[in-house]
Chain A
């Protein structure tokens, strides 16, 4: 399993706008940008301030193709998954509630996953994955394609696919933008979409 690098969330804006005024659309990529901005910092007037949560959220994402070895050389040390630093609440309190929220008393969370162009879908147990890393590996094993990682340069080609999910509000989002626990809390089903659609 190769660890690709870091997923950085950066938002730059020239004008004074507020995260809450941005509407989610059904387009997964725009929605991904807005969902991450609604959780990341917003911006101030005058100066463009780049809010980079790379300190807080760094997710190592695995890939399944050698194509990416060329684009992204393997780092010499592994990227650690950073635990969350926002909201400012102690991890102990957090995990106590998350356990309830996710109801880990149930051992599995099976969701449907379809690939564009293939009418028969599969089912995948998300609780059996321990992060985006293993999710992408598992998905790559189940379907005959290469999954691009978010954060990588967009390759507009019909040969590559991206992983998206439908959230509780019915919007389609890019997988990988939000912390794993939040993703588990919100995901309803997965879809493997062509990269050139995003």
Chain B
């Protein structure tokens, strides 16, 4: 029936289909739908920049306006991927610039971006509106200056946790006076900023909804900025300390009064430097907060955190440091009944091991916050009993990431592995999509995961398992698995090679310090030409023996339609 509709009607219907997966599914129905879908597609997501080439992207989706690209594998966040591994955005920007693509939005994660790329980007797309860079590196504030100066209709510049070399230029001053279209600006990851330029910029951009400052913005400047922008919805404070020299009480009073007028703020973050006595200034807006991020606020004591949290009854997402303690988490549990996402970060990641938060805090949260669906929890210890209780209280986990700081630590009460605890989680949260394991774990936990985690898409494994069987349970059982990353676990060639076709159904597999050998990887690469099997070997003082029986230190494999990449550095060997 749909075949008798003109293309425009199909297109109109497809306009309502917005998620990437749904659009991908639509394109597979028949050749007609494929054609209509591809011409009307505006938003494209590429989870691995090496899976496809920019030329093929442009050929298939000539109407693309918004592109997301991801580069390095996730474990690069933890220094497991050497510098210069890859993930360069330059070829993409060059290809898009050469074509007649009207790019408006670009979102990059874990990619290497150069000043030249940013310059070309800023000059090539007249309607460019939004640049979001997450965990990227390779550029300086010169690149930002180009974006500021040349993108006349820029709405969003969002820099999240990038490594940016800061030059003496005042890039913020490069926004012309005619720039009045900004909606979102985030430069929290920078160390410096030109305050005067910032205040002028905020003053002439009345549509600014999201502003995240860096630690170079003192509290006095924050107050002035908030006076100009009471319409903010999303605020990241910079430095939140009162300068000892200034008249403290006057500044504090003004700040409190100004903040009180910012009735629209729903998301609060920053506090990169914070003096506890200034915190009460934000109490008035706490009532309306749905997202609070205090993960950088190392200066705040548990008791002050607790006082603050008591005002935040509507919180849905909370990111906090473990100095809140188990007691503090109990307060969260009794105050934040709508809590959906909790992240507890370690304030002393390398410390000797005093327990800041334990299983007690987590159980309290699960008991008080049944809507909890996303968890990232760093703790000193965990018990099976606690995990089983959490599983009973919260059955809606989509993301469950537990990091017990001491690798392979068992349940301290029973000295047992944590298999049963994690098993309970996957059994009760049927929609779980992402899971990170830690603590002492045997093959049994993987048996449970394979059996119950039917929707699992991403699994992170460290120091776990006994044998190849563990990995096999996961590969066989988790039909929707897309990303598997494993470190320091005894999985070898037998597991790797059992079902080679599986990897074409996944985005990528990372294995480091496991038992896979060079020979095993070679066999896999030979059997599967549409996988890139990369061996990363940084041991420059040791000869890489090239013996098939040698264990491979780091292997990263991913499906691709474009063969081995041509920009691989010396220490990356792509097997064919």
Contact = CB atoms under 8 A, between A and B. Distances in A.
A86 B352 CA distance: 14
Given A42-B440, A169-B352, A181-B350, A90 B513 contact: no
B406 interface: yes
Interface stretch (A17-25, A127-135, A142-150, A156-164): A17-25
Contacts of B345: 89, 93
Contacts of A185: 348, 350-352
A87 B512 contact: no
A12 interface: no
B541 A97 contact: no
Contacts of A19: 406, 408-409
Interface residues of A, number: 50
Contacts of A82: 79
Contacts of A114: none
B540 A182 contact: no
Given A52-B513, A185-B351, A89 B378 contact: yes
Q: What interface size band does chain B fall in?
A: 35 or more
Interface string A34-63: 000011111111110101100100000000
Interface in B448-496: 460, 462-463, 466-467, 487-488, 490
- The dominant DSSP class at the B interface is loop
A121 interface: no
A41 B466 contact: no
B272 interface: yes
Contact of A55 (B406, B490, B553): B553
Given A41-B488, A52-B513, A90-B161, A77 B541 contact: yes
Contacts of A87: 346, 349, 378, 403, 405
Contact of B352 (A90, A93, A167): A167
A155 interface: no
Interface string A165-188: 001110000000011011001100
Nearest to B135: A90
Contact of B189 (A43, A80, A92, A100): A92
Interface stretch (B41-49, B54-62, B295-303, B555-563): B295-303
A92 B406 contact: no
Contacts of A108: none
Interface string B154-195: 000000010100000000000000000000000001000000
Interface in B345-366: 345-353
Nearest to B553: A55
A76 interface: yes
A55 B85 CA distance: 16
Nearest to A42: B408
Given A39-B406, A97-B298, A97-B349, 20 more contacts: A18-B410, A42-B410, A45-B442, A51-B488, A55-B80, A77-B540, A84-B78, A84-B79, A85-B75, A85-B78, A85-B487, A86-B78, A86-B462, A87-B405, A89-B346, A93-B345, A97-B348, A100-B298, A101-B348, A182-B350
8 contacts: A42-B410, A43-B408, A44-B442, A44-B490, A76-B541, A88-B78, A90-B161, A97-B348
